[in-house]
Amino acid sequence: MSGDMGAGAAGWHDDEVVSAGLPDKRLARRFCRLLDQMSAAPGQPVPAACGDWAATKAAYRFFDNPRVTEHGMLAGQQRRTL
């Protein structure tokens, strides 16, 4: 996680990954990277947030993976909102 987000930042990051319920450690690591990239560039499109073609392609492969669901990625936020 980026160092400028403060001491409590790792908590939400970890909660998001655990709440997503990803079935594979590699997917969980990729989700962590995406959280880092997207939170460092709020409002930016995926290619701008990822920074280079390899990271962008990896992000799109992650989103296209049938084991990754929108519901799973948003589960932590939904639980905290309720």
Question: What span, in angstroms and rounded, lies between the C-alpha atoms of 9 and 3?
Answer: 9
In tens, the pLDDT along 39-76 reads 899 999 999 999 999 999 999 999 999 988 888 877 77
Q: Taking a C-beta distance cutoff of 8 angstroms, is the pair 36, 51 a contact?
A: no
pTM (2 d.p.): 0.74
Question: What span, in angstroms and rounded, lies between the C-alpha atoms of 53 and 80?
Answer: 33
DSSP assignments along 18-58, one per residue: HHHT-SSHHHHHHHHHHHHHHHHSTT--HHHHH-SHHHHHH
